Chain A
Amino acid sequence: MISSNEIRKSYTTAAISKPKSHLTTYWLAMGPGILITLASGFILLFLVLPLAVIFMEAFKLGIGHFFKSFQDRSAWHAIQLTLIATGISLPLNLVFGIAAAWAIAKFEFVGKSVLITLIDLPFAVSPIISGLIFVLIFGLQGWFGEWLAARDIQIIFAVPGIVLATVFVTFPFIARELIPLMQEQGSDEEQAAISLGATGWQAFYRITLPNIKWAVLYGVILCNARAMGEFGAVSVVSGHIRGKTNTVPLHIEILYNEYNVVAAFAMASLLALVGLVTLALKSFLEWKVRQDFKATLEPTLAEDH
């Protein structure tokens, strides 16, 4: 039994250490637990489960069936086309991204803010619209349609259209990654290089590039993942011609619509794999880029001798 004295004592202590403090402590102790459970639940439901489903469905009929899905000629073609579209759009966006970031971060010029906004355009518009833009420009009924048809050049419903759409959609990735880092780094080092007699190209190649190499790689990784996975814009310009203008994502859709679930998921597992590798590389590169940022922000000072 508790004596009244003790009760009073515990009451006074509670009063001193703020009223309701018990409740607060209770919530503080429980809060993280609840939040962690909620978050884990979400991750399980929305990330882990779908990923698991992809691989489970792909291997549902055994490993033999999985590999058989790739023996199809059109499947191979889709993979090839995806690699071609990515292989062309990546270098293009690499050059463009570095050039745009270099111009924006290191120089002052008229129309700079317009350029920054324009770079974000592909993020802002729906991929369907991105695709339609090219149909409207190069399609048979489009602006240059007749001119192109007269010269027997096909862009829409052909590989060039797919490449164009992919380039457009993946346009911002590298530039967006580089601009903040390059702005932070400023142009002191380049100015120093020039004053020491370096040409513009030497300054870029020997000073700028080494300072941004990790960020460039990071942008390339993201750009690559998006280029391989792009569905909407490519879907509009491709025309879904099997064995001709189908990329991997388009091919997955067709297979799925034909109730060829195993083949669809086998192809999907390829993209998922690319995604996982991307994630791993991304987190490694993020760490590297942060180091570059840190080097600019707070130079660590050794002791003075």
Chain B
Amino acid sequence: MGIEVQHVSKTFGSFKALKDVSLKVDDGELVALLGPSGSGKTTLLRIIAGLELPDDDGTGSVLFSGEDVAKTHVRDRQVGFVFQHYALFKHMSVFENIAFGLRVRPKRERPSKNAIADKVNSLLKLIQLEQFANRFPSQLSGGQRQRVALARALAIEPRVLLLDEPFGALDAKVRQGLRTWLRRLHDEVHVTTILVTHDQEEALEVADRVVVMNQSKIEQVGTPEEVFHNPASEFVIDFLGNVNVFKGRLEAGKALFDDVAMELPENSRFQTGQANVYVRPHDLDIDRHRNGSRSLAANIERINPAGAHAKLTLLGIDGNQIQVDLPFERYTSLALKQGELVYVSPRKVHVFAPEYMI
């Protein structure tokens, strides 16, 4: 089922949690709402679920398959909502938790006892917790609890699955496993899914499309590839991973910063003036010798060679810190030492003109 959010705003007291947000999610898509805390992503999710009502300003609406659900209560929206802290029913077994949504149905819609048991068992199989049916939530690990919460939401055959920071309370290793598992599950079940996360890696890895949010607004919507490689704003490039910022200027289609002059892409929006130049650590290369005009002199301050990339922290001549991720082979072949003077050259830059304040 497709979901459309149109011009939705939400105010809590004097705080604007959402400012005129519009978003379209296609049927069967897995979309991640990504942003720092307080960016409005959870509010947007709760509004879609019906747990929160948008401001009644006459413009905002939420459509499920084209039908306005403003007047539809959470109970009747058929959304599967998964909470950050699981919100499992403590006093019920795993089985009862999953069966809950079926058991509370009005008598004439309620499946028979056997049908409920079949459904729950098939879901237990799906989340690979068949042998835990009789356990209580307190006897499960965090990852298992979240899987139960997911199964419980899926039991009502929701039209849309809404996940609020589902893996936020878990440790890194479990998160990684659940991420892959969630993606596989989605490919199997194919229910429209919206996932809220502040973890950019999670969003980029799991989602078909990523919605980057900041300060109650949507900054960019795109595939993981688009938002990562063609960030639409300084916020997006800054939020999606480490990045070096250089103060520079634009002249005749070139970005000039320190001693470097980089050709700008032809469709660049900015032509002349002040600009911030962003370079990802892995888009920087290091050389022992000056490489034309396209390099910066810098001293190696710290080296962290643990990982596929050697992570280097350099100190530029002007005192700026520069982060460089060097492929490990490159790092070993150069045999770099701490304190050495080297030359750094960018392969790819992103240029943004700073916003003017009047």
Contacts and interface: CB of A to CB of B under 8 A. Distances in A.
B87 A192 contact: yes
A286 interface: no
A151 interface: no
Contacts of A192: 81, 83, 87-89, 149, 152
Nearest to B174: A304
B87 A194 contact: no
B178 to A, nearest CB: 10
Nearest to B135: A302
A211 B87 CA distance: 13
A111 interface: no
A193 B142 contact: no
A13 interface: no
Given A193-B104, A197-B105, A295-B138, A305 B144 contact: yes
B262 interface: no
**Which of A192, A195, A207 counts the most chain B CB atoms within 10 A?**
A195
A302 B101 contact: no
Main SS at interface, chain A: helix
Interface stretch (A21-29, A61-69, A198-206, A225-233): A198-206
Interface residues of B, number: 37
Interface residues of A, number: 24
Nearest to A305: B141
A299 B138 contact: yes
A192 B100 CA distance: 10
Contacts of B90: 189, 211, 295
A191 B83 contact: yes
A195 B142 contact: no
Contacts of A196: 100-101, 104, 152-153, 155-156
Nearest to B129: A305
Interface in B275-306: none
A210 interface: yes
A303 interface: yes
A36 interface: no
A258 interface: no
B91 interface: yes
B104 A188 contact: no
B75 interface: yes
A195 B91 contact: no
Contacts of B142: 301, 304
A197 B101 contact: yes
Contacts of A189: 87-90
Interface in B42-99: 49-51, 74-81, 83, 85, 87-91
Contacts of B105: 197
A207 B92 CA distance: 9
Contact of A188 (B77, B87, B100, B155): B87
Contacts of B87: 188-189, 191-192
B75 A194 contact: yes
Contact of A210 (B85, B91, B144): B91
A204 to B, nearest CB: 12
B124 to A, nearest CB: 15
A305 B104 CA distance: 32
Given A192-B83, A295-B90, A197 B75 contact: yes
B75 A211 contact: no
Given A189-B87, A198-B100, 4 more contacts: A192-B88, A195-B80, A206-B104, A304-B143
